[in-house]
Structure 1
Amino acid sequence: MCVGMFLVLLDVTVVNVALPSIASGLGADPAATQWIVDAYAVAIAGLLLAGGTVGDRIGHRRVVLTGLGVFGVASVACGLATGPGMLIAARAAQGAGAALLLPGSLAVITEAFPDRAARARALGIWAAVSSLALPAGPLLGGFLVSSGDWRLIFLVNVPVVLAALVAVPRLVPAGTARPERRGDAPGAVLAAVGLVAAVFTVIDAGEHGFRPLTVAGLAVALVCVAGFVARERHANAPMLPLDLLRLPAFVGPNLAAGAMNLVVNGLLFVTTLFLQGVQHRGPVAAGVALLPMFVPLAFLAPPAGRLVARFGPRPLLVGGALVAALGAAGYALLEPASGYLTLLPALVGLGVGAGLFTAPVVAAAMSAVPAERSGLASGINNTARQTGTALGVAVFGAVAGGTAVPGAFVHGVHVLAGLGAAVWIAVVPLVAWSVRRSSPTSTRSG
């Protein structure tokens, strides 16, 4: 299960340092380059809740095996892609496999370790391995691209997936199937199509302005949102129970989680383009340069969880948001020829802020609902974060544009510095209002 989760998170970040090589090799324009990242995030966000429901119905081991198979085949397709369209479609298929793996891996561990102490140890290992994927992605991607071909960043998944497919039936208990659990296929379709249409609208508007096709994408997105709300209001087994949206203590942290991923992953996307497209750094140098963002993000999460247990989530949420706002604002100092020391404080600020923010925002969302709905709450929180990633890459990529004119690109980065800082600052009153004061004993880490 750690292997599966590691691959899911690795493919969120490993592709970023390869984007210039991919764009050059396949002739991808800036919009297609954004979709190479976003197709993966959109598929995860749109199918994540459905993946958890399917696992409940037919058993999580079966779903994990299916997810591994889909992810592996899609990785081969990514590695063999002959054009941007084929790669984008394969990335979407990877995301579909990831949407089965992500909730399934956690559910399998929960079922396999009924003893609470053993489960806590197992989940701690799972979280630690997962967090290592974040700094490993840029490094591994940089080395693979520089040593051969960008296709290796996808093909390297294949032997790992094959080993996992052999190991899972031997090591993972079959688990319990609950065929009586109903899904919400219409809701899942409306959510996925609406998110795709929203991301398309943002990317297309940045590339072409508001042409008729862009307006049509916006209309589809709005219709799907309205249809999704209507469906969830009347569905017997809604994918997103609307009563949860009447709980500020649940809605606020999930909006904040989406905002976190929007800014962090949006700035990650443009930072990669800046390092390679503007400053012409190699893939390895770009991967190493990104480590100050990912190392704090990965290694601050465990101690932040312990601080949540002691002080409650609100102080860390406010402090993390303010630190991350300073980091985002630091991008306003960049110029095309800026030295790395100009970028470093911005990366560290984002990494430290997000590292302080991640554990408490999950804890706040989970503690807002009864324990029997914790699985659903976790799925919604993950969906909110993946939706933020998809929209962040779309919005930030559209504002920054391509790197062919470095001055124009950097001007866009300056605009994004203000936007990113403003989003983080807006998160402060949001969490201060919505996250209730929690005593150490009443706060659950989720």
Structure 2
Amino acid sequence: MNSIALQLNKSLEGTQAGSLLSEMGKRFFFPRGIIAQAAEASKKATKYNATAGMAFNNNQPLILSSIKNSITGLEAKDYITYAPTPGDRELRELWLEKIKIKNPSIKEIHTSLPIIVPGLTSGISNCADLFLNPGDNIVIPDLHWGNYDLILKTRKEINIHTFKFFRDGRINIQSLKETLISSAKNGKVSLLLNFPNNPTGYSPTKSEAESIAQAIKDVALMDIKILVMADDAYFGLFYEDEIYKESIFSLIANLHNNVLAVKIDGATKEDYAWGLRVGFITFAGKGLTKEHTDALEQKLMGSVRSSFSSSPKLSQNLVKKALLSLDYSRDKAEFESLMKARYLKVKEILEKRTNGKRLKELPFNSGYFMTFETTPGYNERLREELLEVGVGTIALGDTSFRIAYSSVDKSNLEDLFSIIFSVSDNLQ
């Protein structure tokens, strides 16, 4: 094993993070090779810099005129050259500052500096590199984003164990706890939670969030090491007062010495920047010091360097520019108001409906979606019939039927649901 990797492992000895590392995670390190040497040169090579594989003329990067003419407001060096492996330092610091503003409970809790990845998919995959071996167990809700299966089961060969997400219209804490205990293997287990949940559009109340944290703590007290990944893709889109307004990460970050918390978030949905592919990974855990989180960052940088190398510099600078803009808060408030108005309209439609009764709505209070529960196989038949009348929806598994009301103007929602209910009633 590489000597740098061995040193990082030694730094993490005795911590929950060190105990949770996968075999690949133990091997990971950030090499002091071309990237590290080029970074050094960028600070000290004031005369000539002949390190990185880029082409310059008169100290300016070469750039095709067709690209240059398409991008205004940024200098070529701010988007055409390589970004650092962990991402733009200023953006990482700015994102952490925003995390702590939005999650005041962790204001005084030590966390790592976020590492930038190209979206939430990459974030989950890179975390799996660090902490999950093929054959390990991970717990997720039975109602979950379909890409979890592809990332974890198909790509990483990890065993997925699901807990029943709802019971009597609330999160099924008992099922969560029992599944965590039964899925523990070799003294450890992993958990992936997503709020607002995709596909249901449900976020926990304050009471539910606290109960989730207590269930995790109860399992940790059984001397089981737990990796908790918070997929916060839709964070902030909360439409009801009773919702816990912080990330579940806030309640896990300092919960117990056997728990490692990982926040995976990004500008993708949170800042309406879907195609820019800017995500972040942040670590925290009770007892973890800066030395420990620095070691985790170095290992994660090894995963980044060996997979996608670095995230696009253009995307990072566009997001940074947005976060620093005087219009940012105003725009966010306007869009959140727009989304809430659509949510309330859907609630109104569902409350007064007289048809479409074969579709049972699941609880929703946040995010982009709402989901109906159907009889097995009926969801796909309904989806296909709706396509024939020009309406696109999503069938998930055998019984989930998802509507992204986020993508339909409020003025058209009445018509959308009228068509869905009518087609459903006429489907034999």
**TM class, shorter-chain normalised?**
under 0.3
Which of the pair is proportionally richer in strand? Answer: 2
Which of the pair is proportionally richer in helix? Answer: 1
Ranked by relative contact order (alpha carbons within 8 Å, sequence separation 6 or more), the top structure is 1
